[in-house]
């Protein structure tokens, strides 16, 4: 009797368990480069007129890109900034073929942030970040040379904005 009850329990379990969820599709990347290839980073906030730039020196440390620019504060910079600039995972793809007349609706006609990345091979990547989404959780973003518009998490934008508004100067030399 115990064997029959156990067998019925196993059959019932196997036949009534829910199907596994479909495999999730990987998040698209707006761009993707090896963070070790980054050599210069420029982030500007056109609506405020503020810009900061950094360059990696031969000693593999990042410095403010100005004559005799100080080394960045590694507690605030660490390896995280080059990592998040190597290619953000997009929350979603909005369109693959944005028209010029649609750029304004995403805030991309006059971006809130512009990023220029220079790679080791001297190739540059230009990125425009527009307005936040209506729910305020993400920002519209696109490669300047692309017709695709994505959204990225608002925290990604906030980290980069803070680098410009409160630059990671060394503790003793904070401006």
Asked if the structure places residue 9 within a domain, the reply is no
| Chain-centre distance for alpha carbon 16 | 42
The two three-digit tokens of residue 15, written as one number: 């036949």
**Per-residue pLDDT averaged across 9-25, rounded?**
63
Q: Which domain holds residue 60?
A: 35-173
Q: Within a domain: residue 10? A: no
- Say if CB 52 and CB 163 are below 8 A apart: yes
Interval 67-96: pLDDT, tens: 889 999 988 887 789 999 999 989 999 999
Q: Over pLDDT 90: what percentage of the chain?
A: 72
83 is a domain residue: yes
pLDDT value of position 75: 87
**Residue 23: which residues within 8 A CB-CB, separation 6 or more?**
none
Number of domains in the chain: 1
- pLDDT at position 4 over 90: no
Tell me how crowded residue 108 is: count the other CB atoms within 10 A of its CB.
21
Q: Is the pLDDT of residue 16 over 80?
A: no
**Neighbouring residues of 27: CB distance < 8 A, sequence distance ≥ 6:** 89, 90, 91
Helix (H, G, I), strand (E, B) or coil at 16: helix
Q: Find the CATH number of the domain harbouring 135.
A: 2.60.40
Query: Can you give the pLDDT at residue 7?
Result: 62
Residue 3 domain-assigned?
no
Specify if 159 maps to a domain: yes
Residue 17 resides in a domain: no
Q: What is the mean pLDDT of residues 111-138?
A: 96
4 domain residue, yes or no: no
Task: Say if 135 falls within a structural domain.
Answer: yes
């Amino acid at each position: 009797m115990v064997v029959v009850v156990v067998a019925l329990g196993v059959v019932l379990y196997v036949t009534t368990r829910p199907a596994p969820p479909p495999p999730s599709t990987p998040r698209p990347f707006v761009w993707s480069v090896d963070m070790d290839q980054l050599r210069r980073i420029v982030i500007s906030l056109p609506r405020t007129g503020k810009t900061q730039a950094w360059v990696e020196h031969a000693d593999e440390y990042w410095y403010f890109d100005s004559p005799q620019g100080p080394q960045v504060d590694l507690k605030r910079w660490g390896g995280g900034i080059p990592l998040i600039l190597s290619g953000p995972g997009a929350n979603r793809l909005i369109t693959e073929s944005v028209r010029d007349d649609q750029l304004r609706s995403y805030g991309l006609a006059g971006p809130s942030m512009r990023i220029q990345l220079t790679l080791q091979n001297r190739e540059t990547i230009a990125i425009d970040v527009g307005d936040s989404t209506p729910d305020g959780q993400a920002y519209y973003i696109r490669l300047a040379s692309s017709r695709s518009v994505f959204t990225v998490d608002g925290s990604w934008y906030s980290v980069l904005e803070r680098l410009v508004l409160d630059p990671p100067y060394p503790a003793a030399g904070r401006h």
